[in-house]
Amino acid sequence: MPCLVGKSHVCCTRIENLSVKAGGEYILKDINLHLHCGELTAIVGRNGAGKTTFIKALLNTIPHSGNIIFEGERCAGNCGKDHTTDHDRFCTCRKRIPYTTTKPVFGYVPQTLSVEPGSPVCVEDLVFACTSKRPVWLRHRKKDIEAASEILSCTNSHQLLKRRVCDLSGGELQRVMLALAINPLPDILLLDEPVSGVDRVGLKSFYELVSSIRRDFDITILLISHDLDLVARHADRVVFINNASAVVGTVKDVYRQKDFMEVFGHIMLPDEY
């Protein structure tokens, strides 16, 4: 399973001159960023700054201009192992070739999932709907249930398999969606931090889980965040979106920047406590 795949490749994503306009105004203008594998990059900014717009442009769900170029490595294809899509990208054999694409594979966890109260859909159905070509209403086979459980175990949510999705807490739902977003393993994982239905303890464990994914899998993680303390503790780099442009740097660099301090004030860094 992709879950078992470890660190094996190097990659970089270049975002060049990304712009989004709405109603004649720029929401984002000429954003240029380099994102690296194995790094957690947090996107911060005041309400309405353009964080979600940025993610939507990356996912190509809204009109935008500019380029997204993903450079990675994949198996050369002659190592004699079974070649699934994941294998090509994450095989640990030594014969690897560089590849470049403008269409990287994204995993996406939205801020929330709208679920009808009382809906009988259980987590198992949700996993099958996302991962299997077999109609969800057919009786679930033992091997499919085991595969679903293994997918969920990546985020320690396998015990939720039989629970109704509408009954899950905000934190439980995030864990299920995160498991789906990393199976199969994407090139870039986009996360929108939950802002409702998750308490402070749940949010902390969400960041710890994201950090462990960053450690275990060599993928680029971009996280829209509203919790600047948790960002300071977990992010490798920060993108601060303000006035349609972006400032990028380490937590310390960005948090001590004049514009950032005007918006958010003085945020203590972990080594200042």
Q: Which residues are near ligand ATP by CB under 6 A? A: 22-23, 27, 45, 47-53
Of 59, 44, 57, give the one whose Cα is nearest residue 18. Answer: 57
Give 185 or 239: the residue with its C-beta nearer to ligand ATP. 239
CA–CA separation, 102 vs 14, rounded Å?
A: 10
CA–CA separation, 235 vs 227, rounded Å?
A: 11
Minimum distance from CB of 52 to ligand ATP (Å)? 3
Minimum distance from CB of 62 to ligand ATP (Å)? 7
Give 101 or 243: the residue with its C-beta nearer to ligand ATP. 243
Minimum distance from CB of 164 to ligand ATP (Å)? 28
Give 8 or 245: the residue with its C-beta nearer to ligand ATP. 245
Contacts of 142 (CB under 8 A, 6+ apart): none
CA–CA separation, 171 vs 208, rounded Å?
A: 12
CB 2 within 8 A of CB 90: yes
Minimum distance from CB of 49 to ligand ATP (Å)? 4
**β-bridge pairing 188-192 and 220-224:** parallel
Give 20 or 35: the residue with its C-beta nearer to ligand ATP. 20
In the sheet that holds 106-109, the strands lie side by side as 106-109, 188-192, 220-224, 40-44, 237-242, 245-249
**Length reported for the chain:** 273
Give 183 or 225: the residue with its C-beta nearer to ligand ATP. 225
**Cis (ω within 30 of 0) for the bond into 194?**
no
DSSP 32: E
Minimum distance from CB of 64 to ligand ATP (Å)? 12
Give 49 or 180: the residue with its C-beta nearer to ligand ATP. 49
Of 154, 145, 150, 155, give the one whose Cα is nearest residue 125. Answer: 145
Give 15 or 152: the residue with its C-beta nearer to ligand ATP. 15
Minimum distance from CB of 29 to ligand ATP (Å)? 12
The token pair at 230 is 């948790």
Minimum distance from CB of 32 to ligand ATP (Å)? 18
